[in-house]
Amino acid sequence: MATFRLQGSKVLAVDMSGDAVKAKNGSMVAYDGQMAFKKMSGGGEGLRGMVTRRLTGEQMEVMEVKGQGTCYFADRASDITVLSLHGDKLWVEASNLLCADGGLRTGTSFTGLRGGASGNGLFTTTVEGTGQAAIMSHGPAVVLRVTPQYPLSVDPGAYVAHQGDLQQSFQSGVTFRTFIGEGGGEAFQIRFEGDGLVYVQPSERNTVGGDV
């Protein structure tokens, strides 16, 4: 299995010995040893996966990198977080996924209202199995633990990814005040309940909710 490690906070180094990883198209910045780069049609998972991706708009431009040596990945100076999956599932926007172990399965899932409010699509990418993955954020991401006793509410624009056994619901704080222009700028949140981890970035994307 490929080994993921961080070189600084913005460069991911992946040590490979004949195995493969999936990575965002064009994100390789350097490598030593022997590497082969191959574009994966529509993000893998065969023809069916490709068709769903086309339909859902959750287009992941993915390449397969296979080889011997160390490959370095980075994308527009984004901060990178390496995380491990042990048979559980990771939900992440395709644009925030930098690299995933070749043994992990990727798919698409419906996010409901959350997607619309966070400025992302209504669909999100899922990564499932056992292995490492690297996600990107604008500024270093913090990992927040959610337990049944401690639910968490997150600004949709700051949400990056989540993993584990979590239920998400959409919260709205829209009141009469919002409509007369007295809103606090925090009209919408995503609420996570259950057991898992949520990755939050110290920056906010422009969302519909941010203005009201």
Residue ranges in contact with another protein by CB under 8 A:
7-11, 25-33, 35-39, 41, 61, 63-64, 72, 74-78
What are the backbone dihedrals phi and psi of residue 179, each rounded to the nearest 5 degrees, phi first? -75, -25
CA 63-73-79 angle, 5° bins: 120
Q: How far is the CB of 16 from another protein (least distance, A)?
A: 14
Nearest 10 degrees: Cα torsion 26, 29, 34, 38: 0
Q: Please give the Cα distance from 81 to 78 (Å, whole number).
A: 10
Q: How far is the CB of 67 from another protein (least distance, A)?
A: 11
Task: Name the residue nearer to another protein (CB basis): 36 or 174.
Answer: 36
Task: Name the residue nearer to another protein (CB basis): 31 or 188.
Answer: 31
Q: How far is the CB of 100 from another protein (least distance, A)?
A: 15
Q: Please give the Cα distance from 168 to 113 (Å, whole number).
A: 10
Task: Name the residue nearer to another protein (CB basis): 59 or 109.
Answer: 59
Task: Name the residue nearer to another protein (CB basis): 7 or 84.
Answer: 7
Q: In this structure, how many other beta carbons lie within 10 angstroms of the beta carbon of residue 19?
A: 18
